[in-house]
Amino acid sequence: MQIKSAEFVKSCTAPGHYPEALWPEIAFAGRSNVGKSSLINTLLNRRGLVRTSSTPGRTQLLNFFLVNGDFCLVDLPGYGFAKVPIAVRKGWGPMVRTYLEQRPSLRAVVLLFDVRRVPHGEDLQLLDWLEEFAVPTIPVITKIDKVSRGQRARQLAPILEATGLPADAFTLFSAKTGEGKEEIWQRLEVAMEAPPKG
């Protein structure tokens, strides 16, 4: 994918404030600190377009980006960070569920898993919602640079078991080395060419 332009459109929480659904859209979901913003920046070849942070739980809004004037990428709020105030944590479920259920231009969700963590809680909740609303899902295992090649199979086993997904469903990715970037672009292109649901 050649990136000619990438611009921030807006941040919001409720459907009444989403940008008009004029373009095919791909959203990125996963635990706080899993690397959603880093993945988007890597895909767009922009270091600082999407703010990344070593303090998890900063992004509590849906952030919309328009790429090449042609399609949208959405950075969804992360979850699972203990220091986030309870009121904010309670807001996450309805905000994300509503988006997944109601966004007509949504073509797929990239769901990120940290190679060093066993998926649980909201990770599995998200998989359920994506199935319930028939949103095509692109599962990605991130921070693969943290594990040596020889250790990969052993590290992946609990992720496959917890999600019930086969190994070949996942793209392995590293924002540090760029591994997996082209494969993710290919999967996004396929998803964006598919007809919209419903």
- Residue ranges that bind ligand GTP, judged by CB under 6 A: 30, 32-38, 52-54, 56-59, 78, 142-143, 145-146, 174-176
- The span of 22-30, 54-62, 162-170, 188-196 binding Mg ion (CB under 5 A) equals 54-62
Residue 60 as a binder of Mg ion (CB under 5 A): the answer is no
Interface pattern 75-104 for Mg ion (x via CB under 5 A): ------------------------------
Are 97 and 155 within 8 A, CB to CB? no
Q: Phi, psi (5° rounding) for residue 142? A: -100, 175
Between the alpha carbon of residue 102 and those of residues 35, 129, 152, 173, the distances in Å are 25, 12, 37, 29
Q: Which does 89 bind (CB under 5 to 8 A by kind): Mg ion, ligand GTP, none?
A: none
Q: Is 33 in the site for Mg ion (CB under 5 A)?
A: no
User: At 9, phi and psi to the nearest 5?
Assistant: -95, -60
d(CA 176, CA 50): 16
What's the min distance (Å) between Cβ of 61 and ligand GTP?
A: 10
Closest to ligand GTP by CB, 13 or 21: 13
- CA distances in angstroms from 96 to 3, 77, 130, listed in the order given: 27, 8, 11
Nearest residue to ligand GTP, by Cβ distance, number only:
78
